[in-house]
A = this chain, B = another copy of it.
Amino acid sequence: MTSPRVTIKDVAARAGVSKGAVSLAFNHKPGLSEATRDRIFRAARDLGWAPDPAARTLAGSRVDVVGLAVCRPARLLGLEPFYMEFVSGVESVLTEHSCSLLLRLVRTVEEEAGLLESWWRARRIGGAILVDFRADDPRVEPVRRLRIPAVAVGHPSLTGSLTSVWTDDASAVGEAVRYLAALGHRRIARVGGAAALGHTAIRTAAFDEAARTLGLAGARQVATDFSGDAGARATRSLLTAPPGDRPTAVVYDNDIMAVAGLAVAAEMGLRVPADVSLLAWDDSQLCRLTRPTLSAMSHDVHGFGAEVARTLFGVIGGEGGGSRPVATPVLVPRGSTAPPG
């Protein structure tokens, strides 16, 4: 469609504007009236001109696409309030920069490593956000080698030399267990997330550590896939133990599993919190909408996503380092936790 003889200068002349104005219009930046924008697009259409994306990116101080690959099954992603709030926080900052998010679901982190390399080499993205780190994560090396501006969402023990932003899960798990123990609970269970994820492993180790420190012999943990169904099954299995062996408090790795736990307790005729205390994680608005309301480890997931995006623009702009924990979850007690009955 583009004729090689037509240049941005021709378009500017035909529209009666400067080259800078044409550039503003095609880069979707503010500062032009609707009428001027229309005139520029009409002139470009008449002349059969379109900007060369490669040239633009090479010229490019400006990053207008950031990549995010997520390695979770599509169905589970749709059910997880965390991700949507995280993405909405990222988007809130990208929008300020007229930047879009290139989103892709992948089946393995190895596939993601290849995808990031393709995106970067094809100049599709100006930077990337990496999430859900594993031990010995295969994305660290290529991102470092290709010098892709990136922010890793994960603990530095998992993210190597990449700039990373994380929530201090170990401290938060410790706080949760100490609080329940202070209420008098000795048999405390944790319904954890996907075992392959680095942050799940960190929480699992922190739970063991806290239980050992406090001498809680009845502590136990179950792994799930983060879904409400898996959370319900895990809760049912924990609560069917004989009364003297049954946990009196359960900590969940997300909100939806805690909501499911509340339903299972009701189904089994157990009162919350008199018979069993439940503690959610993330504190999306769900926790305030149940009866009883759910006590939760609370953090601002939307703000966390925004902070990750801001850090990425810092990395793209050449600011070094900046790795830091943000938004460490804090305990918000509500109606689902109490001393054991």
Which residues of B lie under 8 Å from residue A75 when comparing CB positions? 88, 92, 302
Which residues of B lie under 8 Å from residue A263 when comparing CB positions? 288-291, 293
CB distance from A329 to the nearest CB of B (A): 17
Counting CB contacts under 8 A, is A188 at the interface?
no
Choice from B28, B53, B79, B103 contacting A103 with Cβ under 8 Å: B103
The stretch of A154-162, A164-172, A254-262, A313-321 in contact with B is: A254-262
Complex Cα–Cα for A141 and B121 (A):
35
* Cβ–Cβ contact B289 & A121, under 8 A: no
The stretch of A111-119, A174-182, A244-252 in contact with B is: A111-119
Complex Cα–Cα for A89 and B122 (A):
26
Choice from B44, B85, B122 contacting A51 with Cβ under 8 Å: B122
Choice from B34, B54, B79, B293 contacting A284 with Cβ under 8 Å: B79
Which residues of B lie under 8 Å from residue A206 when comparing CB positions? none
Per the 8 Å Cβ criterion, residues 220-271 of A in contact with B are: 227-229, 232, 256, 259-260, 262-263, 266-267
* Cβ–Cβ contact B103 & A74, under 8 A: no
**A277-291 near B? 1/0 per residue, CB < 8 Å:** 000000011101111
If A80-B84, A89-B74 touch, does A289 touch B259 (CB 8 Å cutoff)? yes
If A41-B117, A50-B122 touch, does A79 touch B78 (CB 8 Å cutoff)? no
The number of times this chain is found in the oligomer is: 2
Counting CB contacts under 8 A, is A195 at the interface?
no
Complex Cα–Cα for A50 and B118 (A):
9
Counting CB contacts under 8 A, is A37 at the interface?
yes
If A53-B123, A118-B28, A262-B291 touch, does A105 touch B92 (CB 8 Å cutoff)? yes
Per the 8 Å Cβ criterion, residues 88-141 of A in contact with B are: 88-89, 91-92, 94-95, 100-107, 110, 114-115, 117-119, 121-124
* Cβ–Cβ contact B100 & A102, under 8 A: yes
**A40-63 near B? 1/0 per residue, CB < 8 Å:** 010010000011111010000000
Given A51-B122, A95-B107, A100-B124, 4 more pairs with CB closer than 8 A: A41-B117, A50-B122, A78-B301, A227-B285
Pick 21 A–B contacts, CB within 8 A, sort by A. Answer: A28-B114, A28-B115, A51-B122, A53-B54, A74-B95, A74-B302, A78-B87, A78-B88, A78-B301, A84-B84, A92-B105, A100-B102, A100-B103, A228-B285, A228-B289, A256-B286, A259-B289, A262-B289, A263-B289, A286-B286, A290-B290
Residues of A within 8 A of B (CB): 25-28, 34, 37, 41, 44, 50-54, 56, 65, 67, 74-75, 77-81, 83-89, 91-92, 94-95, 100-107, 110, 114-115, 117-119, 121-124, 227-229, 232, 256, 259-260, 262-263, 266-267, 284-286, 288-291, 293, 301-302
